[in-house]
Amino acid sequence: MPGTTQELYKAYCDLMQKAADINYASAVLSWDQETYMPPKGAEARGRQLSTLAGQAHEILTSDKFGALLKELSAKSDLSDTEKSNVRLSLEDFEKNKKLTPAFVEQMSLQISECFNAWIEARKKNDFNVFAPSLTKMVALKRQQAELYGYKAHPYDALLDEYEKDATVAMLDPIFTGIKEQIPPILAKINAAQQVDDSFFYNHFPRQQQWDFSLEVLKRMGFDFEAGRQDYSEHPFTTSFAASDVRLTTRVDESNYTSMLWSCIHEGGHGLYEQGLPESQYGFPLGSPTSLGIHESQSRFWENCVGRGLDFWSFFFPKLQSIFPEQLGNVTAEAFFKASNKVEPSLIRTEADEVTYHFHVMIRYEIEKELIQGTLGVKDLPAKWNELYNKYLGVTPPDDKSGVLQDVHWSHGSFGYFPTYTLGSFYAAQFYAKAQSDIPGLLEKIASGEMTELLHWLHEKVHKHGRRYTSEELCERITGHKLDTSFFIRYILDKYKNVYGI
């Protein structure tokens, strides 16, 4: 093995980037699986993804790689960037080493099986089609939690996959706060006159929606020379490098909001991926901080910016010219109010900012019980419907609008959902700081000028990769650790203008 520090670091770089190449090749296949792959390709695709997952895991858990990391971590002549990469890679190594190659390949195969079962179940609107595959997935996730190890709750081991240091003990008080602080706000809104959003539910041709979404994304700063947008069953963003970022969306010609908000939301994710340092391809400092911070970027653009009156002061005349029959008698203010209508609903991705966190909390409570073993997969639909009735006062009429609506469980993404709420809270805190740091920010947004805002996000959030934890990054940006009062003030300020509360 090479002896000098720089020779050792180069050997580290070669292994990391080789594994990244494999993982990103796998990501291309996963993206294709959800966008263009013909149905009969499912079995072969599952095999391909399993093989690649095993190869990448083998590189990053080999004894050779572990010895290299330990030798490098003892070196004193690495740069700060190199030290951070090695430190984080060693943490990842020690965690990945807990999973055997056989388990990784088994999980990859199960994800492919589970995803295809979910697609079929949604087509048939029948949870029972999905249940057998999901049962096997939950068993594997319980096994994964045991392999990783945990101090208090098995769900903690899975939470840490998406939000480092997140635990049930940390999240329970946050969701308790939601149950205490949001209902009084909802009560005031419910007592006010409801806003009219009926104009959203006309016929909006697919291509015109698509074309306008591209214009919005370009104005936000999404680089279409380094990315693209396509259709999928469930909107998502994936990246193969900062120079190749893929957004997906879905279209409902009878509901304009379905595509609009998912495009802006996924655009926020995409801007984060494009803002990561290309020089750190394959390394921790070229990767997002966490899923909570990633979600802060999508919620920042979708809600703080995209659902703001200033945003629509600029965009609404353009939208109105595209859909004169549907929106000709609507004002920008009416469009803004309709975009922020608060009403209990069935679909998480289409929920308003206030009730959204009950959707997340329901999934959080269900996941805790599934991983702990106190809830069985066969009982999921009944439990789902019970919690929706309890927290939102609505009951899904069928499985597709209920327990089958999210893709996450088919991907094995248990522990992901809480990051949506964390992301919303981080977003509100970042948005308050951005307004403080950028003179006349709202006026700039109203003129369609968002370059300075994107630069602010790039400097404050994107360029750091995983150098800091979420809490460290938040404190570095705002001077405070995560503080939910920023979110409460944000929604009170917004809904004062919508409902007069």
pTM, entire model = 0.91
Given 34, 82, 113, 266, the catalytic residue: 266
pLDDT in tens, 467-494: 999 999 999 999 999 999 999 999 999 9
Which residues touch 199 (CB under 8 Å, ≥6 apart)? 326, 327, 330, 334, 338
pLDDT for the residue 1: 52
- Residues 432-463 have pLDDT tens digits of 999 999 999 999 999 999 999 999 999 999 99
pLDDT category at 234 given cuts 50, 70, 90 is confident
In the predicted model, is pLDDT for residue 350 greater than 90? no
Tens of pLDDT, residues 269-313: 999 999 999 999 999 999 999 999 999 999 999 999 999 999 999
- Of 459, 458, 481, 478, the C-alpha closest to 469 is 481
| pLDDT for position 169 | 96
Residue-averaged pLDDT of the chain: 95
382-398, pLDDT tens digit by residue? 999 999 999 999 999 99
Provide the 8-state DSSP code for 407. Answer: S
Contact 170, 155 (CB under 8 A): no
Listed by start position, the domains of the chain span 5-140, 168-499
Cα–Cα distance measured from residue 18 to residue 450, given in angstroms and rounded to the nearest whole number = 36
User: Please, are residues 78 and 72 in contact by the beta-carbon 8 Å criterion?
Assistant: yes
- The answer to whether 302 is a known catalytic residue is no
168-499 maps to CATH 1.10.1370.30: yes
The Cα–Cα gap between 113 and 108 comes to 9
* Of the candidate ranges 13-22, 104-113, 333-342, the one whose mean pLDDT is the lowest: 104-113
Per residue in 235-269, pLDDT (tens digit) is 899 999 999 999 999 999 999 998 999 999 999 99
pLDDT at res. 2: 57
* Confidence class for position 101, pLDDT limits 50, 70, 90: confident
CA–CA distances in Å: residue 82 to residues 1, 10, 11, 496:
19, 11, 13, 48
Average pLDDT over residues 197-205: 97
Task: Report whether 368 contacts 168 (CB < 8 A).
Answer: yes
Task: Estimate to the nearest angstrom the gap between the alpha carbon of 359 and the chain centroid.
Answer: 15
| Nearest of 356, 160, 156, 347 to residue 258 by alpha carbon | 347
What's the confidence (pLDDT) of residue 93? 95
Q: What is the pLDDT of residues 18-41, one digit of tens each?
A: 999 999 999 999 999 989 999 899
